[in-house]
Structure 1
C-alpha cells in the first residue's frame, strides 16, 4: 500500500455477529465507513458505524431495536511485535499485510450499547422517576453547634482532641 488515504464501506448483519465468539449481540444491521490513513510509521483507522441492534429489555424481557451510532479511531503503529498499548493505540508487526477490522467494528458497536437496556416505551417513565428523586432533599448530617455559636462569640469551641494535639506541637 502507498502512503495515502483509503476509504472502505462495509455492511454487517446477523451473520457477522454469529461468526464472532460472543453472546452480547445476536441480531443487528450496520453500515460502517472506514477511513484508513497510511504513513511510513503507522496506520490511522477511523470508524463511523450506524445501524441498529436487537436487544432484550431488562424489565419486560421483550425484544426491541436500539439505534447505534459510533464514531471511533484506532492507531496501529508499526513495530517488532504485536502489543496493545492503550485502548486506541496498538503496535503491529512491520510485516503485517492484512488487518482484520471485524473485532474493532464489533468492539465499537458493543461500547455504544446502553448499560441499562430498557424498551423505548419505558424510558420516558424511568426519566420521570429520576427527576422526582432529584427533587427530594435528604439531610445526611447536621451540626447544631454551628448554629449555637452564631450569637457573636469570638471564641470557638475546640475539640479536646485538637487541643491535645496543639500542646504536642508546641513542645
Structure 2
C-alpha cells in the first residue's frame, strides 16, 4: 500500500465549514516521495481545512525534525522544522497552479492529497546553507569579527591633523591642476 494515501482528504462530501486533521510523517513518507533533499525525519502536521462554495483554504502548522547532511563536514544532523503556511484551492474548470499559494482544481475533484504541500513547506523552511549545529556558533562569531572590511585603498594615507585643514592632494591631480592653470 502506498504510504501517501494516508494524506488523502475526501472533499466531495464535506459541508462548507472548518475541519481539522493531524498527520505524522516519518522516514517512509520521505522515501515514498522519491526525492533527494530529505532522506529521513519525523514531523507532525496540524491542518485546518476551511471549505466554502468557491474554494478550500488549507492552513498548515508543521513541527518536527528532518535529517540533513552538513555541507561542510558531511555529517548527518537533525534540522528543526517549525513553519506555518497556507494554501488556497479554488474550484474551476481545470487544474492549474496559479501561484505558490493558489491552485485551481476541477469542481468534480473528490479527493485532494496534501503530502506534496507538506513536503514543499518543509523544504522551504530549511536553510539554504546546511550546517551542523557545532559549526553555526563559529560562523556567527566570524561574522561579528568581519563586520568592517577594507575593500579598496589607493595607498595614499590621508592625514587630517594638519593645522590648516587642507586635504592632501594626490600628486597626479596637482600636476594636472598646474596644466589647467596655464
Q: Distance in 2 between matches of 1:37 and 1:21?
A: 30
TM-score (norm 1): 0.80
Q: Structure 2: state its 5+ residue gaps.
A: 1-13, 155-166, 169-182
Question: RMSD value over aligned CA atoms?
Answer: 1.9
Name the count of aligned residue pairs.
Answer: 146
**Residue 102 in structure 1 maps to residue 115 in structure 2:** yes
TM-score (norm 2): 0.76
**Aligned counterpart, 1:125:** 138
Question: CA separation of 1:114/1:140 partners in 2, compared to 1, >3 Å: closer, same or farther?
Answer: farther
**Aligned counterpart, 2:171:** none
User: Could you list the runs of 4 or more consecutive aligned residues of structure 1 that deviate by over 3 angstroms after TM superposition?
Assistant: none
Q: 1:128, CA displacement in angstroms?
A: 1.2
Q: 1:139, CA displacement in angstroms?
A: 4.0
* Structure (1/2) with the larger helix percentage: 1
**Aligned counterpart, 2:81:** 68
Q: Distance in 1 between matches of 2:18 and 2:153?
A: 58
Cα deviations by residue, 1:15-36 (Å, 9 ceiling, x for unpaired): 0001002111111000000000
Q: How does 1:106-117 map to 2 (within 5 A)?
A: 106-117=119-130
Question: Which structure carries more relative contact order (alpha carbon 8 Å, separation 6+)?
Answer: 2
